[in-house]
Chains A and B, each alone.
Chain A
Amino acid sequence: MNNSKYLLHLFCLCMIQIAILDNIQLHSFVHINIYPLAILIMPYKIKKVTVLFTAFLLGLVLDMANNTVGIHIAAATFVAYIRPKMLQLTSNREQVDDIPGAGLNKSFGWFLKYLFLSMLAFHTVLILAEAFSFANFSITLLRIVCSTVVSCFFILLYYFIALKKKQE
């Protein structure tokens, strides 16, 4: 995937997030966030620090849209930080070389694992930053899990509609 295509995805994800998903109120426990996918599918050859700053800006945009200054920045930056470690953890060398290249098709299981763990980390930071205390921790935990599962579902929808088709 070249850079222009990636930028298109980035723009699409942002627009979908701000225009549609931020207006959906499923339940007070559920936050739907698909924009972290833009950080996850960034080409691997891009410098790590660039990813970090992109994530920071992305979080800033989302925060301005949601009027929650700082929370999305913290979560998005965290995902960008753990992205290299997450890639090493979930895959071997070959897969890392071309994310989200042609290999994605064959290793859907890997993508799912990578996605789920990253989203779990993302929502952990996001919801802890929002709650800002460890009181009622069971409820916080439930919110993290619910948000992760629902967000992963929506990301997979996007994946099957936009990403996978292009690769075929």
Chain B
Amino acid sequence: MKNIIKLILRYHFTIIFILLEFVAFSLIVEHNRYQRTIFSTYTSTFFFNLSSQVKEIRGYFELRQENRKLVEENTILRNKIGVLTDQLEEVPVWDSLHTDSNYHFYSGKTINATYNKTKNYITLNRGTEEGILQEMAVTSIDGVVGIIQNVSNHHSIVLPLVNTNLRVSAKIRKNGYYGSLQWDGKDYRYSYLNDIPFHVNVEQGDTIVTSGFTSIFPEGEVIGFVETVDRETANFLTIKVKLATDFRKLSNVYIIGHRRKEEKRELETAAYDQMQNNE
């Protein structure tokens, strides 16, 4: 105690100086809006980092519990899968699984396909006899394949994602920003998503899904995953997307028809015409 007092007496000048500077800086932060903003930015970043670190470390202690929970959940899910597989064998129609009654699913098989041109096409073994119409969507179990372009009685031609003529309205699943997906005609494994504003946070591995705007595709069908993100123009990002569908080994596909597409189109055309007349 004596030593502490001695120390304080010896360095009282410096201690008083530090106290006064402390008062000065607390006044600065307290009363100046600009400095307060900067100060709070730094402190909040610091404490945010600290708390996230602590959270991460704490997560390790709960791993055992989490594992047990996941195993329990897995068993429940596996039981459900078993029940559903049994039901599926009894009811072969695909759309019984889909609650979204706006869309009807048909199964199909590819019988001819190209993947090494800039204008690739896929031929399917389904046609008007089976109820296939133009502009229906085609997906596989992995992701989106393309759109039906021409239909004959027993066959149909698909305009796949790997055709430079096709543009699909797509969005980033995690934040909902949408743009248009177009192939560049080079590698059948990759396509490009354009028109995403530069401020949007996109990372490698993010999922790109269909936006559902055109009513061809149901919303949320997986198109692919973000491979790289470039900022080529000033305001928009160019996102290289690894397509979920492998076009080289595509075999079983699902053709999706929108039941109320005509209704929706008529409504939109009517609204558009009315707007034109008003002007």
Contacts and interface: CB of A to CB of B under 8 A. Distances in A.
Interface string B20-45: 11011111111110110011000000
Contacts of B35: 129, 132
Contacts, number: 61
Contacts of B186: none
B231 interface: no
Nearest to A68: B32
A145 B23 CA distance: 27
A74 B16 contact: no
B12 interface: yes
Contact of A74 (B13, B14, B28, B30): B28
Contact of B24 (A49, A73, A133): A73
Contacts of B17: 52, 77-78, 80-81
Interface string A48-59: 110011001001
B13 A73 contact: no
Interface in A6-58: 48-49, 52-53, 56
B31 A69 contact: yes
A70 B16 contact: no
Interface residues of A, number: 20
A49 B35 CA distance: 29
Contacts of B23: 56, 73
A115 interface: no
A11 to B, nearest CB: 22
B32 A49 contact: no
A52 B23 CA distance: 13
A129 B23 CA distance: 13
Interface of A: 48-49, 52-53, 56, 59, 63, 68-71, 73-74, 77-78, 80-81, 129, 132-133
